[in-house]
Structure 1
Amino acid sequence: MSKAERTKQFIIEQTAPIFNMKGYSGTSMSDITEATGLTKGSIYGNFENKDEVAIAAFKFNVKKLQDAFSREIDKQTTFKGKLLVYPKLYSEYASLKVTKGGCPILNTATESDDTHPILKKSAERTLNYWKEKIIYFIDQGILAGEFKAKSIDTERTALTIIALIEGSVMISKLTGNLKDLSNVMLSVTKIIEDLE
């Protein structure tokens, strides 16, 4: 990496937790300069504007989350096992310590839905990627004979799993009660078990 690339990466790594905790609107240029120890000029020398920093920070946070899940998914030998990684890891989300401030998909989608179309588009692409991944695991599980093919609406099942996960993350974050998250993950586990 060149010096410029290292500086850019440093800015992203230092600001990613701030954007995830405070949101786009709540993160000021002062927050960015304070977190990095760089001047405003240095930030703008590496990024065109705050939007670019926010999008890069979102992608960084999502990649950290996806990498944590992918490591566990890759260890599984069945498609059911791969799907069960989601409720298992989300049950332990607080101890994962992947991203400060909770799920970057939920945080960004909630804040940007009416206020920031570029961030909204990034969150939407990430959500669609996740949905397609779950659909793929279900479809492959059907082909492998792990799941019964006739009664499964794969897209509805994938969306239900995601909605339960993100909804329970929101509830547990709001209430501060991690048991709420674990309880809903039992329901997600049951949905996956019932695919057989």
Structure 2
Amino acid sequence: MENKLSKADRTRQHIVETTSVIFNIRGYAGTSLSDLTEASGLTKGGIYCNFSNKEEIALAAFDYNYDKVFNQIYKKVAEATTCYDKIMAYVRVYEQLSRKGSPQGGCPILNTSVEADDTNSLLKNRAAKAINKWKKELQELLQTGIGKGEFKTNFDIVQMALSIIALIEGGVMISKVTNSQTNLDKILKTVGILLEEIKI
């Protein structure tokens, strides 16, 4: 039997979907209540009947934007057969999304981290949780690759996982600020170079 959302859940979902782009482009501080009402087509009362405050909407919008990016990554990871290709799926999806300008505003992890690191502990913690989850996924792929004989054993798994994340996120930041896809392409190639050094 089909599991249908309640009217309240549909309204909450509508608010999150229609405001997620605004939060990703303008950030929490730069998004006003009038932005939320205009995007959702709801009144202030309609919004605050479903969310207790703007911060709660921003957290839900972050989750929505994060899922949009990482669901595409997980699909590519599932299709890949080697640990090397599974790790490179993160790189390839970010590269493709950047070319498409998707999601609008760029990477939600990067955007939220930069804005919230000193200003909003809840959003900062949400971004930190996403990075730690990503790091754990990469560490598991690297460890599995070692076990399968794809990768050497004489490297620091945590350092490698963090370096991959830093290159991807740093590349996205540099690409956006310089308005240069070429810069991102060059930086992302470094991930492949790092992985080639540990391949057997």
- In which range does the TM-score fall when normalised by the shorter chain? over 0.9
Partner of 1:115: 119
Q: Does the 8 Å contact 1:68/1:98 carry over to 2?
A: no
Deviations 1:49-107 (CA, angstroms, capped at 9, x unpaired): 00100000000000111101011110001111101112222222223554110000000
Q: Please show how residues 139-158 of structure 1 align to structure 2 within 5 Å.
A: 139-149=143-153, 151-158=154-161
Length, aligned pairs only? 195
1:186 lines up with 2:185 in the alignment: no
Q: Deviations over 1:7-56 (max 9, x none)?
A: 00000000011000000000000000000010000000000000100000
Which residue type is aligned with residue 121 of structure 1? N
Contact 1:90-1:185 within 8 A present in 2 as well: no
| Code of the aligned partner of 1:185 | L
Gaps of 5+ in 2: none
Letter paired with 2:83: F
In the alignment, the residues of structure 2 paired with residue 89 and residue 192 of structure 1 have an alpha-carbon distance, to the nearest angstrom, of 17
- Give yes or no for the alignment of 1:174 onto 2:177: yes
Q: Percent identity?
A: 45
Residue 85 of structure 1 corresponds to which residue in structure 2?
Answer: 89
**Given residue 192 of structure 1, which amino acid in structure 2 is its aligned partner?**
L
CA–CA distance in structure 2, aligned partners of residues 126 and 94 of structure 1: 19
Question: Are the aligned partners of 2:84 and 2:145 in contact in 1 as well (CA < 8 Å)?
Answer: yes
Residue aligned with 1:99, SS: coil
- Cα distance in structure 1, aligned partners of 2:87 and 2:198: 11
Give the corresponding residue for 1:129: 133
Greater RCO structure (CA 8 Å; 6+ sep): 1
Matches of 1:69 and 1:24, distance apart in 2 = 25
- 1:41 maps to 45
